Amino acid sequence: MSPNAHITSHRKPRRTTTQSWVVRTGVAGGVLSTLAVAGAGSASAHAVEKPTEATVEMPAFNAAIANSIAESAVATQQTADDFEVRAHVDEAATHAKADAKKVKDEAERKAEAERKAAEAKEKREAEEARASRSSERGSLSTASTKTTKAATGNAASLVAFLEGQLGKAYVMGSTGPNAYDCSGLVMAAYSQIGIDLPRVSEDQSTAGTQVGLGNLQVGDILYWGPAGSAHHVAVYVGGGKFIGAQNPSTGIVERSLSYSPPTGAVRVL
């Protein structure tokens, strides 16, 4: 026997496994029960508070939706206004373009009408000028039948001198005896019969009495250009012809009146 057998042990008796499991189960159950109660309480609290939160938050949510709808409506209206303005602008531009086209067409039509009128006027004036020249030629032809190259006295002497100069040269500023210009020849011819004439064509065209081209006589001075501003002169020698110093190319020649119809005539004899 052990010497300590009679001594009472201070160890606590060991609990059985079953008792320990029951205790642990009970503790766990209590904890779980406590958690369940707490969870139920929390759930109840949430369940009670949720309607309150919904009641508080819904107006703000509805206001945000209303604001969004209002902003969308404003944007939609602005877009519609923009489209309307654009439509008015496009319509105005279309009308302006149409008006501009009408103005352009009218201007072109007017310009075309003016062009045609100008052409018609030019054509009419040309026809009138041709008719006038034909009439002048007819008058000169008639005059040639009324006058003859045969002349007497001073007129005969004048013609004889002029015929003697045919073929000589035309030289500007010359008065003979080997060359003449147009007014130099006329002045020299008249000097042969004792009549002094001015030196230049402008003055010779007004030196005598103005006569019609249909009533010419031998010795009349013919001129080309306005009286007082004539640029050429010659002497009518009868038979519808004249003798004059024409130009450097031809010199002194005899030509028909129809070759170059004069503007007028003056009578000195």
Q: What is the pLDDT of residue 98?
A: 85
Q: Coil, strand or helix: which one is 42? A: helix
Residue type, 247: N
pLDDT of residue 14: 54
Higher pLDDT pick, 121 / 262: 262
Instruction: Give the tens place of pLDDT for each residue, 23-56.
Output: 454 444 454 444 444 444 544 444 445 544 445 4
Q: What pLDDT, on a 0 to 100 scale, did the predictor assign at position 11?
A: 53
Average pLDDT over residues 167-181: 96
Every domain of the chain and the residues it spans: 27-110, 147-267
Residues of the chain with pLDDT > 70: what percent?
69
Amino acid 150: pLDDT: 52
Q: How many residues comprise the chain?
A: 269
pLDDT in tens, 11-28: 555 554 444 534 454 444
CA separation for the pair 256, 244 (Å, rounded):
11
Specify the range with the lowest mean pLDDT, choosing from 127-131, 165-169, 187-191: 127-131
Q: How do residues 146-157 score in pLDDT, each as one tens digit?
A: 444 456 789 999
Residue 144 predicted with pLDDT over 90: no
- pLDDT the model gives residue 100: 86
Structure tokens at 69: 């709808």
Q: Which residue has the higher pLDDT, 5 or 201?
A: 201
Whether 245 shows a pLDDT value over 90: the answer reads yes
Confidence (pLDDT) at 210: 97
Helices 153-165 and 182-191: crossing angle in degrees, nearest 10, is 140
Q: pTM for the complete prediction?
A: 0.48
| pLDDT at 18 (0 to 100) | 45
Query: For 147-267, which CATH class?
Result: alpha beta
Beta strands in the chain (DSSP E): 169-170, 179-180, 209-211, 221-224, 232-238, 241-247, 251-256, 264-267
Q: Which of 39-43, 70-74, 130-134, 239-243 is least confident?
A: 39-43
Q: Which pLDDT does position 183 carry in this prediction?
A: 97
* Number of other residues whose CB lies within 10 A of the CB of residue 262: 24
Q: With 70 as the cut, is the pLDDT of residue 220 above it?
A: yes
Q: CA 267 → CA 136, 153, 201, 221, 222, distances in Å?
A: 19, 16, 14, 6, 9
**219 and 154 Cβ atoms separated by less than 8 Å:** yes
Mean pLDDT of the chain: 78
Please check the confidence at residue 80 and state whether its pLDDT lies above 80: no
pLDDT of residue 104: 86
